[in-house]
């Protein structure tokens, strides 16, 4: 089913993100993760696409998206980056996706890799959205950045480019993680003001360790509110306490977002079903209530 149809139910959607197993891990680890996540009944599960755009059979997001649909009977969304892909690569992957019945694709530019010269067929996610829209058959989502993308000169141009991505065919947006809901609400105001009317899911990442958050902040530039920074400082040497506090913080963010009428919450599970279960047990009823 297309994610755009799921949004027609008149309630916020609750979705998960997973990544393919590490190259050194047996592929069975992902079956185990999926079995456990599936029991939490998300509306859909998305699977990320390798950072350099390089995939092997074992780590193939197409295989994993198929598994989500066929084994878990849950809707799947496959991420697809284009910065290191030619038109022929995209044609091959999209034909395979169509054959497998994968209907939802999150179109992405991907990050520039210092040691790989980018291909020139697609410069931005917008170009991939336009290309796949012309091909037809997919429901396209795009990424958005409540605090602005790191490459953007300012928030206003960031929203302008986002509008172009939506106009090119994205019917849903998923946000980068953020730790202060005010950034998300301000972003929503800017997006709606710019005429972006599609549903926008809020990306929530629970903290599992100080190093994980530090790595994410370096990658995406999310700000740390004082309350969050204090929490990390206080519990950095107590892993269980830090995780407990992180789960409570994520639940708090989600309760506020749903109460404010968010279209959806996308939980970055980091392939940790235990963590996803703790959060889901506390918030699942919120997603059953209408908007
Ligand atoms: P774009 O929308 O193309 O934007 C990139 C930059 O270019 C932005 O600064 C934008 O403002 C600017 N821009 C856009 N259009 C134009 C234009 N026409 N002219 C000038 N500037 C323009 N990475 C992966 O490798 N694999 C994944 O699976 C993955 N999943 C992600 C999921 C989510 C929800 C998010 C938020 C990010 C994900 N990323 C993933 C990271 C993402 O690929 C990077 O953030 C990347 O740097 C930008 O990708 P994008 O699709 O948002 O790019």
Joined together, the tokens standing for residue 33 give 């993760």
Q: Is the CB of 133 under 6 A from ligand 1?
A: no
Q: Are 94 and 132 in contact (CB under 8 A)?
A: yes
Residue 235 has a pLDDT of: 96
* Catalytic status, residue 126: no
Q: What are the b/e assignments for 185-211, b being 16+ CB within 10 Å?
A: eebbebbeeeebebbbbbbbbbbbeee
Q: Is the CB of 49 under 6 A from ligand 1?
A: yes
Q: Is the CB of 118 under 6 A from ligand 1?
A: no
User: Of ligand 1's atoms, which has the minimum distance to the CA of residue 61?
Assistant: 28
Q: Are 263 and 13 in contact (CB under 8 A)?
A: yes
CA of 123 to the centre of ligand 1 (A): 10
Joined together, the tokens standing for residue 121 give 């067929």
pLDDT at 21 over 80: yes
d(CA 114, CA 290): 46
Confidence category of residue 174, pLDDT binned at 50, 70, 90? very high
Residue 138 has a pLDDT of: 98
pLDDT tens-digit profile of 128-164? 999 999 999 999 999 999 999 999 999 999 999 999 9
Q: What percentage of the chain reaches a pLDDT higher than 90?
A: 81
* Helix, coil or strand: residue 112: coil
Q: What is the residue with the minimal CA distance to atom 30 of ligand 1?
A: 48
CA of 73 to the centre of ligand 1 (A): 29
Confidence category of residue 57, pLDDT binned at 50, 70, 90? low
Q: Which residues contact 289 (CB under 8 A, 6 or more apart)?
A: 11
Q: Are 57 and 26 in contact (CB under 8 A)?
A: no
Q: What is the mean pLDDT of residues 30-49?
A: 93
User: Of ligand 1's atoms, which has the minimum distance to the CA of residue 124?
Assistant: 3
Q: Are 226 and 258 in contact (CB under 8 A)?
A: no
List domains and CATH numbers for the chain: 3-281 (3.20.20.220)
Residue 147 has a pLDDT of: 98
Q: Is the pTM of this model over 0.95?
A: yes
Q: Which runs of consecutive H residues, i.e. helices, occur in the chain? A: 3-6, 28-38, 61-70, 87-99, 125-135, 155-167, 181-193, 210-220, 226-235, 239-259, 273-283
Place of tokens 């963010």: 253
Q: Are 239 and 211 in contact (CB under 8 A)?
A: no
Q: Is the CB of 146 under 6 A from ligand 1?
A: no
Q: What is the residue with the minimal CA distance to atom 15 of ligand 1?
A: 161
Q: What is the residue with the minimal CA distance to atom 23 of ligand 1?
A: 110
User: Of ligand 1's atoms, which has the minimum distance to the CA of residue 266?
Assistant: 34
pLDDT tens-digit profile of 177-208? 999 999 999 999 999 999 999 999 999 999 98
CA of 113 to the centre of ligand 1 (A): 13
Confidence category of residue 53, pLDDT binned at 50, 70, 90? low
Lowest average pLDDT, out of 49-63, 173-187, 274-288, goes to: 49-63
Q: Is the CB of 31 under 6 A from ligand 1?
A: no
pLDDT at 291 over 90: no
Give the distance, in angstroms, between the CA of residue 230 and the centroid of all CA atoms in the same chain.
Answer: 26
Among residues 17, 75, 126, 147, the one annotated as catalytic is: 17
The rounded mean pLDDT for the chain is 94
Q: Are 213 and 232 in contact (CB under 8 A)?
A: yes
Q: What is the mean pLDDT of residues 23-31?
A: 80
Q: Is the CB of 51 under 6 A from ligand 1?
A: yes
Confidence category of residue 96, pLDDT binned at 50, 70, 90? very high
């Amino acid at each position: 089913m297309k994610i755009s149809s799921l949004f027609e139910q008149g309630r916020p959607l609750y979705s998960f993100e997973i990544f393919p197993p590490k190259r050194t891990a047996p592929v069975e680890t992902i079956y185990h993760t999926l079995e456990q996540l599936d029991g939490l009944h998300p509306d859909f599960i998305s699977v990320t696409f390798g950072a350099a755009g390089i995939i092997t059979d074992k780590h193939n997001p197409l295989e994993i998206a198929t598994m989500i649909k066929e084994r878990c009977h849950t809707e799947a969304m496959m991420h697809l980056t284009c910065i290191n892909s030619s038109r022929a690569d995209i044609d091959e992957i999209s034909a395979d996706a169509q054959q497998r019945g994968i209907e939802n694709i999150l179109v992405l530019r991907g990050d520039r890799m210092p040691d790989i010269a980018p291909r020139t067929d697609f410069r931005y996610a917008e170009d991939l959205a336009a290309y796949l829209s012309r091909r037809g058959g997919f429901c396209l989502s795009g990424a958005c950045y409540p605090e602005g993308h790191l490459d953007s000169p300012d928030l206003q141009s960031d929203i302008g480019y986002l509008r172009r991505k939506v106009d090119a065919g994205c019917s849903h947006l998923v946000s980068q993680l953020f730790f202060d809901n005010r950034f998300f609400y301000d972003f929503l105001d800017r997006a709606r003001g710019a005429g972006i009317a599609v549903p926008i899911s809020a990306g929530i990442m629970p903290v599992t360790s100080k190093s994980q958050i530090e790595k994410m902040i370096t990658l995406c530039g999310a700000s740390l509110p004082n309350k969050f920074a204090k929490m990390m400082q206080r519990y950095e040497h107590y892993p269980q306490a830090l995780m407990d506090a992180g789960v409570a913080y994520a639940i708090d963010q989600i309760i506020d977002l749903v109460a404010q009428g968010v279209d959806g919450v996308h939980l970055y599970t980091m392939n940790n079903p235990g963590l996803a279960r703790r959060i889901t047990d506390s918030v699942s009823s919120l997603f059953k209530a209408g908007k």
